[in-house]
Amino acid sequence: MSKQQTITLNNGVQMPRLGLGTWQSPAGQVEKAVEHALKSGYRHIDAALIYQNQEEVGRGIKNSGVPREEIFLVSKANHHQQAARIGLTGALLGTDYLDLWLIHWPVPFQPGPDLSPLTSDGSQTIIDRQAPSIVDTWKAVVELYANGKGKIRAIGVSNFTEKHLEMIIDATGAIPAVCQIEAHPGLQQKGLEAYGKAKGIHFTAYSPLGNNITGQPRIVDSEQVQKIAEEIPADPAQVLIAWILAKGFSVIPKSVTPSRIESNFQEIELDRRHVDTITELGKNNPMRYNTPYLYHPQWDIDVFDSPEEKGASVKVW
């Protein structure tokens, strides 16, 4: 498989399958990371309004010298009609168009100057319980895409479940081009994958190595993955990236370290035996690393209908 391999989305737009993620990238390091990635051959950069580093991403793109039209640039904003309009501008990224825009989470935060508004004691992120439904927001996104005069080349969602996808598709008939989800061997969502495939939705994997903000051990550091990597031989991160690509997904591993950025972009092939071994490893060790109800500060909302979220006071609407 070529590391420059692309996927054709359901609206005909082509997207490189291997990109650079920028979530959790430390401030002051993102600009150089993006610049180095593009100079190393990457052509897919994933950003988001809530990461609060889009200006650095934009500078990295500019400094790379790679023409904007050669770069597939993704951005995201949380579910809310006003937030959608802000996220679609692309202004912070220094561009007048986006290749892909996603509803980041089916969760609306209280509107205001803070992207993540907190309660007075700082223990919870404030959910806007009077916000429009995800259907209303998706309708607004579809309208902006249709009337955007090329400002957005494709639209989609992130962190949506099969139920959430059904809600917006059944109500509007508009099918997202992409659904970005946490995906790695420990989180194999067969029902969601099957539904997406039937609808022509492409999946992009974030946290493919198990990166998280709750301090849980990463799957890339597990003894089993390390052993498989030694056997191939390859870097453990390369093994998990190759496993994701073998599923037909796109993938956006994050790094700000030049050598790691380069290593993640190197091509390796897994044989069927290794793919199956890694798949079974994940089935035997299931793990979702990114559940907002378990965050600190907590999001008091049930997104994934998991046992861990049963104490949440509200579900996605």
Q: Which residues are annotated as a binding site?
A: 104
Cα-based distances in Å from 203 to 132, 160, 252 = 26, 11, 11
CA–CA distance, 295 with 299 (Å, rounded to integer): 7
3-state secondary structure of 82: helix
Phi–psi pair at 122, nearest 5 degrees: 75, 10
CA–CA distance, 132 with 160 (Å, rounded to integer): 16
Annotated catalytic residue 42: no
According to DSSP, residue 152 is labeled B
CA–CA distance, 103 with 155 (Å, rounded to integer): 8
Q: By 3-state DSSP, what share of the chain in percent is helix, strand and coil, each rounded to 5?
A: 40, 15, 45
CA–CA distance, 237 with 216 (Å, rounded to integer): 17
What six digits make up the tokens of 55? 């200006």
- Annotated binding site for substrate, which residues? 104
Report helix angle 134-146 to 162-172, nearest 10.
Answer: 60
Q: Are strands 14-16 and 6-8 parallel, antiparallel or unpaired?
A: antiparallel
The H or E element that residue 195 is part of is helix 190-199
| Cβ–Cβ under 8 Å, residues 177 and 11 | yes
Q: Which of 42, 51, 206, 289 is catalytic?
A: 51
The H or E element that residue 180 is part of is strand 178-182
In sequence order, what are the residues at sequence separation of 6 or more whose Cβ sits closer than 8 angstroms to the Cβ of residue 197?
Answer: none
- Residues classed as catalytic: 51
